[in-house]
Chains A and B, each alone.
Chain A
């Protein structure tokens, strides 16, 4: 009988086939464990071959040992493979069972927001800041002098009609009607340096509150003072500003106006960005939106600020952040801003 034909070798072959044949039925962790102990355990057929090695002819033992080892390795490899399959299948099943309704709403989080006017003010600061304008803040309660007289509006001057003023019970004090007193304060602080400032702040108007007018409102003024500043610079600066705020292609126009503290004075309109100039409710069918008043700083105001008007020129412009916000977001009632209804504020 040749070595090759010893029945043990066929047996080993059979052991491997039998074991692999049932491995596929081990489809869970328990089946895998049971299969391992049945086919690779101490008493399993292949391990029994190892323990009974003495029964085989001596010269055959290395071959049997080698074959038995091959069978064991084959079974182990198959087991590992099957075990991995089972793990994958079980994981897949587990995950499938965890499927969510992803359309359910997420847990609400609180998002804090800044007031829309804070947001608009910051945008103006940013745009003008890039042109070298820095923010200069002044006070709400002002003297009549700063609010009017030093701005070339003497007592009883017809121009005082342009402002509906709140007077304080303390004589000579008013609630500022515009941020222009800041022009004098900035000039007096900085003279004779050149000036480019943004003057923001709350202003007050003696007027019934309505959808169109408020007793308090923000104003932002621009003031540039220096040598060689011209009306052309005013136009250029404001046109750039309008493009940044309202769109690169927006058309603007300046038309003559009157402010006691500027000369020449102008008002700037931008083409209505709601209707593109065709006429709508927002622009009251005019195609244009009044955005700001402006002009070259009046020589007397320069003088009052400590600058020699024969040497220095300057321009000033004033706008309303509330109005700009209303136009941009189609807000039709200015009272929304200070009534602070969260249903309004949360839209910004």
Chain B
């Protein structure tokens, strides 16, 4: 919200610099996002030379006007320029002297050549040396006025536009001041002001008005608050009998107040009113609409003005639609609250008025509505109609019903004051559901328990009274009644917390001492699942893989690139983009998209991600969110170096090496690998992993036809799609170590020829099984195929390590084991010892 400094000063004395006020507001919960200075000095401003202490806390903009350089002046005559049609010469007095000033402002052309003006034009005049913004430059560019000759006429000063003064973007013409502006006065004294852009917290809607902010400032400074009063005499005939109110549902409309002003003449509002409205971000319309907006900005009560004569005359059926002020015909929902008369809908209650009964220049009688609406319904209307307004913003957060009456009274006063007319005596006030302002009980212990400070209750009461809480001491309890302008204080334990927050705010958060937690430590449970997951991350990174984190939102067609859909998705009702409309089911599909973006950037790419996928469950249950591990590798085995070792590509066995090392790092043993059938993968280069009967997933080379669906180059794409939950469940809780052998090991190579169809793992398993505990390591070091051994055969060469913990093995002992192994391989696999 835009808060206007000069307006605040109507209600509270403020003797602070712009920066001090910004600090104060932020400290009490009215966060200042930006300060726009209108002529007033602010820190680090190059014009005034003011410097802050090196700590800049707020964003300032605008321009400080030097008091001796920028002043109120009057133009007594506008004369044509001898050499230029688009320029005029102004005869101008600045309180010191008379000058002829050159300008191209189009809004002076109508006065050109009329001779001395009967009423001088008051303008903002910048003397030589003044620092102003360049009106013709794009954006805000500071410039200093220097002496120059323009088309043969000497110029050293100028009359300014709002843009040049840093007030607004307006540069269509020069700024014209009210006729009573005192010539010669420094402009900053006459017009200097500031606008604070303050963010209003959802529970502080009471402060979405000047009085609300002023109240907070007054409370923080301990100064009195001057509330606005209505002062005009009530001269008109009574309202009674002219209008009646019927409220259908008091829950939706707790209060509805009407007032009437007769014989009005809508006209432009006084200059100061228009200026304030503009600074607060609203467009002046006419003196009646402006009065309603002014009161809303003043005390926070939105008002609506009807043309009473239209209401009386209009006829019509009960149309299910209404045309609102923005000229949109709106369908109405069952929960939309309407203000209607006997002829049908008049306005969307609390949101926007109807076009038909709009106040116009022809309006002579104004019926003024001040009401209170159920904020939930207003919110539903706003979202259904996709329509918001200043009124709806406030009503949708809750406006206290007590403000309805005050708002109408102030409104009528402003209307009559700015548009003439007479105020009808009395109001018609329907108040079927009076607000009950909560009373909350506070003790010293309550304050201590929540804030950790000891605060005397009398002092607490003093602080609360500044915010207009009504406080009463009852022995050792403080009874605090909520003032009738706010709805954010609850009852019971909630009310206590609400009141203590107000006390904390007034004490100042910075005044509450910081302490360390001294309450007892909870049972230390740790998080085993997370620790295991982080261990897995560490191992994969140690193996040279880069971790990535991808979007969990995707689209079915993005995952379909990898495999046909095989289940339902958790889908979003309101996706922000069609390609992010469901929760992913495949982590690998997401990883492949990352691979695609990076594949040309590196000779070797090795990536992994650990994260959840989302599987819908029946019966409206929340989805399962199992954790998956996806790995992608492609490119060169070794990174290219300058000595030209010939590059080789990563293949299936590189990925398998990663998988094996990962399992070894996790101390998971007994993995069984089998050729797996998976449409995503190369039919001959895909393995499944099973550990202790638990399926961990598959890995291998992507099927070339599948790989082509991404731009992944022609190197084989090696991928793993693993169930991280199952994998990490295999982690042993405890493991034991073996002693380092005290006796030497004996190494021996053995090469056997077997049928091609026999998996290498069977040979190795048999060797281990037969060798028993004396064979401690079996390592395949060569696979050979060739004519020498016959077609359909392969030679597998193993390096065996014999080792005993009891003593040094003799040749005889190892030979016995070896012979047993060879016999077993011959019998069970038809293997032949190579070289025999």
Contacts and interface: CB of A to CB of B under 8 A. Distances in A.
B137 interface: no
Nearest to B524: A134
Nearest to A254: B509
A169 B551 contact: no
Contacts of B509: 235, 253-256, 264, 266
Interface stretch (B117-125, B200-208, B556-564): B200-208
B533 to A, nearest CB: 10
Given A286-B57, A298-B494, A310-B493, A255 B31 contact: yes
Interface in B516-540: 516-527, 529-530, 534, 537-538, 540
Contacts of B449: 228, 230, 313
Contacts of A267: 31
Nearest to A229: B519
Contact of B601 (A143, A202, A257, A343): A343
Residue in A114, A117, A226, A340 whose Cβ sees the most chain B Cβ within 10 Å: A340
A141 B614 contact: yes
Contacts of A168: 570-573
Interface string A106-136: 0111111111011000100000000110111
B606 A110 contact: yes
Contacts of B571: 168-169
B486 interface: no
B204 A231 contact: no
B29 interface: yes
Interface size class of B (residues with CB under 8 A): 35 or more
Contact of A264 (B497, B521, B552, B616): B497
Contacts of B542: 112
Contacts of B453: 232
Contact of A232 (B512, B580, B601, B638): B512
B96 interface: no
Given A236-B514, A263-B501, A277 B54 contact: yes
Contacts of B620: 170-172
Interface in B618-653: 620, 622-623, 625, 638-642
A175 B513 CA distance: 38
Contacts of B496: 299
Interface stretch (A12-20, A79-87, A90-98, A193-201): A193-201
Contact of B541 (A112, A141, A167, A236): A112
A111 to B, nearest CB: 7
A24 interface: no
Interface string A304-345: 000001100100000000000000000000000111111101
Nearest to B26: A255
B210 interface: no
Given A196-B521, A341-B598, A342-B601, A288 B505 contact: no
A206 B580 CA distance: 11
B24 to A, nearest CB: 11
A273 B614 CA distance: 39
B546 A346 contact: yes
A248 B494 CA distance: 37
A105 B523 contact: no
A169 B585 CA distance: 16
Contacts of A232: 451-453, 512-515
B597 A339 contact: yes
A320 to B, nearest CB: 14
Contact of A236 (B28, B516, B550, B580): B516
A202 B605 contact: no
Nearest to B604: A110
Interface residues of A, number: 105
Contact of B451 (A131, A231, A256, A340): A231
Contact of B522 (A132, A216, A256): A132
B492 to A, nearest CB: 8
Nearest to A108: B639
Contacts of A59: none
Given A168-B572, A233-B516, A236-B514, A156 B525 contact: no
Interface string B31-70: 1000000000000100000000011111100000000000
20 contacts: A140-B552, A168-B573, A173-B622, A193-B523, A196-B522, A207-B576, A235-B514, A236-B514, A236-B515, A255-B27, A256-B201, A256-B509, A258-B201, A265-B501, A287-B55, A313-B450, A340-B550, A340-B594, A341-B597, A342-B546
Given A193-B523, A267-B31, A298-B497, 12 more contacts: A104-B642, A134-B524, A156-B375, A206-B576, A224-B519, A233-B517, A258-B204, A264-B451, A299-B492, A313-B450, A341-B597, A341-B598
Interface of A: 104-105, 107-115, 117-118, 122, 131-132, 134-137, 139-143, 155-159, 161-162, 166-173, 175, 190, 193-196, 202, 204, 206-209, 215-216, 224, 226-233, 235-237, 239-240, 253-258, 260, 263-267, 277-279, 284-288, 296, 298-300, 303, 309-310, 313, 337-343, 345-346
**Which 6 A-B pairs have CB atoms at the shortest separation, nearest pair first?**
A230-B452, A256-B29, A232-B452, A279-B56, A110-B544, A264-B501
Interface of B: 26-29, 31, 44, 54-59, 201-205, 375-376, 379-380, 396-398, 448-453, 492-494, 496-498, 500-501, 504-505, 509-510, 512-527, 529-530, 534, 537-538, 540-553, 570-576, 580, 583, 594, 597-598, 601-602, 604-607, 612, 614, 616, 620, 622-623, 625, 638-642
